Structure 1
Amino acid sequence: MAPPVVRGTAAWRYFGDFRDALLAGQVLVLQVAHPIVAAGVRDHSDYREDPWTRLTRTVASLSIYVYGGTKGAQAEADRLRKLHRSFTGTADGRRYSALDPGAYAWVHATLVMAPVDAQRFFGRPMSASELDEYYAQMCGIGRILGVRERDLPPTWPEFERYYRETIAGFGPNETISTLFETIDTVRKPFSRMSDRRWSRLQKGYSSAQMFLIRATIPSELRARLGLQWTEQDARRFSRLCRATRMLATLVPPPLRTVLMRAIGKLNVWLRAHPWAYRFFVRS
């Protein structure tokens, strides 16, 4: 039985850490590198037309998994599985389903790894005991979400091997190319923001996002995707990592997750009060 996610445990401390946001692009690339996920996103996602709303909904959903309590996580899991049940289609002449067990497990696996990578890059790497507790907790959350026990390895060392071996089979695809194009041409997040102001900000946003993707995806996949990485890039990323670690030391550990915890609690309340959810969240 997975350890409960309560204050002070590994998943509670690390899953919603503000530094995890720096790996948002990495997670998206790794998810859509999977052929079935790529096909589902291509055919059923609106992220290209409305990326900011999609991002908001994704953050809301993630926050509930860990910080919404067991009932909140179960309700969100039921909602997601119902939503994805209709996401079917054809890719390379074969039928696919968004609920394909291997693809569904892989999406969860990328979310499991992201906080571990965030600490490795931008903080203090988790200890062996923290990794064991964290992985057990995230596997428990995976069960709630519908990831079958046999679709993820039972221990952290085996999970790391599974993760590397899965990525070794990935390469370029149309959805990754579309994702990069979307990052490069992303629309302004707020309609009231002037086009002139966004045109100045957009180039910096796109450049930073692509830099973080190139820096944090596994080097072998980076090479297969044709993304350049120079010694100068490595030095820039090293400086960013040091600066982020220093910044994090100024933030008390409980405050590092406060935003994600607040979002999780708010979304549990909103979904328990449908009238409020319809008022605050666009359908």
Structure 2
Amino acid sequence: MTELAEQPQHADSLPLGPESLVWKYFGDNRMYLIGPRPAVLQNMLAELGQGVLDHSVFFADTAARVKRSIPPIMMTVYGSDDDNPGQKVRDFHKNIKGEMPSQDGQPAARYHALDPETYYWAHATFVEQVLYFADTFVKRLSDDEKERIYLESKAWYRRYGVSDRAMPATYAEFVQYWDRMMDEIVVGHKTAQYGVGYVTKGFPKPKGVSPLAWKFIAPVFNPMAAFLTTGGLPPRARVLLDLPWTERQERNYQRFAAFWRSGPVNWLWDRLPMSVRYNKFAQQGYASQRAGQHAGA
């Protein structure tokens, strides 16, 4: 069964908005440096991966799936409490249900995308995305900053209107939840394996790119994509997905991350135009807040 929730104000969370750390980091264009980490990890939960396999155009047209999914998720964050598409995102998943493949002759279990444990895992990968990205490629986060991001993520999750029974109460409990999911629950589901297949096979030529151009682009693009994707995954996920990764690659990845965290790079980045630093959804959110402040002045 699924559970939907109302959206009262909660004292155990912090609000989203221009002063929040989730706003500061989630729409930062440096987020591309972590590769498809959240999408891959989402599909490693068997029920979620099966839902994508059974209902999504992910396999037939991956770009279309991404293009359709990102805007409403982004605007759930960068909207306001009373004007965001969170419940529309929830409603997209009402008919995503079915049966898991039966194993060892046991009756097949059913899945539903709106089961609180399943839906929360999808959200948890975005929360962890913010934490991992900021701590790896921007600055080492303090314990207080990690707690703040997590408390803001609780307000974010409640915008979907799904039961929050699966949501840990504190950041420390979230860490325990995350470790248990990675160590005991997630698997190398075929949907996740498909999503990282280019690591070993290379990307197919994108639509609109000429074969001649791709001949020169692919030798540079494919190794970088593989490096960011594999390096950007937890070690346990690499093992479950059988992704190649050496100690030398890990050292190079850590040097790469340290370069982006360095003072000169951050100093330069902070002085670039907002149109360079943030995606269009974050820009829209900040602009709407400024417009509202000016209207109320």
For normalisation by structure 1, the TM-score amounts to: 0.83
Distance change (3 Å), C-alpha of 1:107 and 1:160: same
Structure 2 distance, partners of 1:79, 1:220, is: 33
Question: Greater share of helix residues, 1 or 2?
Answer: 1
State whether structure 2 residue 66 is matched by structure 1 residue 48.
Answer: no
1:201 corresponds to which of 213, 217, 232: 217
Gaps of 5+ in 1: 268-283
Q: Unaligned regions of 5+ residues in structure 2, if any?
A: 1-9, 102-107, 289-297
Contact 1:5–1:12, Cα closer than 8 Å, also in 2:
yes
Shift of 1:109: 0.2
Per the TM alignment, residue 151 of structure 1 is displaced from its structure 2 partner at its CA by 0.7
Structure 2 vs 1, CA of residues 147 and 113 (structure 1 numbering), >3 Å: closer, same or farther? farther
**1:99 aligned onto 2:119:** no
Question: Contact (CA 8 Å) 1:40, 1:88: kept in 2 or not?
Answer: yes
- Tell me the residue number matched to 1:272: none
Paired AA for residue 252 in structure 1: D
Q: Which residue of 1 aligns with 2:240?
A: 224
Q: Aligned equivalents of 1:41 and 1:207: distance in 2?
A: 27
Q: Which residues in structure 2 correspond to 1:52-63 (within 5 Å)?
A: 52-63=63-74
Question: Could you tell me which residue of structure 1 aligns to residue 190 of structure 2?
Answer: 174
The CA distance in 2 between the partners of 1:182 and 1:49, in whole Å, is 15
Q: 1:195 to 1:38 in 2, by over 3 A?
A: same
Instruction: Check if 1:257 corresponds to 2:278.
Output: yes
1:12 aligns to 2:23 (yes or no)? yes
SS of aligned partner of 2:278: helix
- The 5 A counterparts of 1:224-243 are 224-243=240-259
CA distance in 1, matches of 2:76, 2:205: 29
Cα distance, 1:33 vs structure 2: 0.4
In the TM superposition, 1:9-158 aligns within 5 A as 9-73=20-84, 76-92=85-101, 93-158=108-173
Query: Highest Rg: 1 or 2?
Result: 2
1:132-170 per-position Cα deviation (integer Å, ceiling 9, x unaligned): 222111111101113422211110011011001011122
Secondary structure of the equivalent of 1:46? coil
> Bigger CA drift: 133-142 or 169-178?
169-178
SS in 1 for 2:99: strand
User: How many percent identity over aligned positions?
Assistant: 27
How many Å separate the matches in 2 of 1:13 and 1:59? 17
Over 3 Å counting, the alpha-carbon distance change for 1:85 and 1:266 in structure 2 is farther
User: Is contact 1:36–1:103 with CA below 8 Å preserved after alignment?
Assistant: yes
Aligned length in residues: 264
Inter-CA distance 88–185: structure 2 relative to 1 (3 Å threshold): farther
TM-score (norm 2): 0.79
Cα root mean square deviation, aligned: 2.5
